A and B are shown apart, each in its own frame.
Chain A
């Protein structure tokens, strides 16, 4: 609820100034080297596709010709698959229509190179659109609403209002101008993982087309697993990337995602622990949460000096929240006494994600891995350690709701 109130203040400020007010100082999506504005509409039993290239040239066609128009607008079949243009979408109906059309034209024996390239690119857009922060697709209205607010209630800021507010005008190239406006400036750096996944999937589609296979089938278990892993990681990566932005961190204080308070140090510092005392009690950080922190309030730019650790205890003392953070490194920055600090959940590590993906790929390639066989491992029974038995016996005193049993 407090997040809505924070946004309400932004909306009032926007109404006062008569223009958009940023919710983010960074761009929430990456832009790829090439962008094309795409619309798709039903045309009888088929779909009509209209593509505006970066130079303003309009390419269009119905059915397979519409897919070929995508490849042509992106510089030809080879360039389309090599660069992977961003699909700039001004509505929500085009992408489902494109996805359906793409799935109908994947047979290398029947389709031209341009149609196959357009189909593979549209299939890539459709898949990557589900990954927040992806540069493959940019739905203008949701992304713009993520970056700025207007002085109207949520959801009542129409595309026409944004076109006026951003000064992108009308005409064939207006969507591309709007895209440039919403992706201008520094991009959230945490989205590099998502960008790498964009490239990875595009490469798989390109390989399939160049090898004379459909980009849709057959799909190996390993590829399916990698795609699923990418999907699972994307939401966490995006949520963490947003917290790189000082305005989003200021908002995060009111949603419990950001903890700010006064650091207490002393003898505890020799033990690699600090204690943070905060006025607000509604943090989402729990015992066991890995965190990072730095000096200063959330709205200030994040400095280079920071600490990382693990929440070891939380308590409410005298109406304040006391958070114990342990496992601090022996070297590097440690908060000084009475210093204001900002603490957030540790973002996903790009290197950890990369190594986990490599491990997954290796397991699926290995001939006798249970993963590559698709078999559920047989259960193996062995002696239960005594401490596990004791812990289980203690759990018997509470029911599944965590309440004591009668």
Chain B
């Protein structure tokens, strides 16, 4: 399992949107009003919020 596998999957998911795994962060940073960029922006925002709120599960009880 490698970063290459994730990149290939992201490229497949983003196919046709005009964005790729390499450019998806730019898409999220500057949403153009499309459902694609909105979903990516909200996903990254949720991840940031989740990391801030949720303690790391490692070693839970």
Contacts and interface: CB of A to CB of B under 8 A. Distances in A.
Interface of A: 1-15, 17, 19-23, 25, 148, 151-154, 156, 161, 165-167, 177, 180-182, 184-185, 246-247, 250-251, 253-254, 279-280, 282, 299
Nearest to B17: A5
B18 interface: no
B38 A166 contact: no
The SS class assigned to the B binding surface is helix
B16 to A, nearest CB: 10
B45 to A, nearest CB: 7
Interface residues of B, number: 37
6 contacts: A6-B43, A12-B10, A13-B48, A154-B9, A246-B49, A254-B39
B6 A12 contact: yes
B41 to A, nearest CB: 8
Query: Which of A9, A12, A182 neighbours the largest number of chain B CB atoms within 10 Å of its CB?
Result: A9
Interface string B34-53: 01101111111111111101
A22 B43 contact: no
**Shortest beta-carbon contacts, A-B, top 6:** A9-B43, A13-B47, A153-B9, A5-B39, A167-B58, A181-B60
B61 A180 contact: yes
A22 B5 contact: no
Given A5-B40, A6-B46, A299-B49, A12 B24 contact: yes
Contact of A8 (B10, B48, B51, B61): B10
A247 B49 contact: yes
Contact of B51 (A17, A185, A246): A17
A254 B35 contact: yes
A153 B60 contact: no
A251 B14 CA distance: 17
Contact of A9 (B9, B44, B53, B54): B44
Contacts of A148: 57
A21 B58 contact: no
A22 B46 CA distance: 9
Contacts of A180: 60-61
A165 B56 CA distance: 10
B5 A152 contact: yes
B60 A166 contact: yes
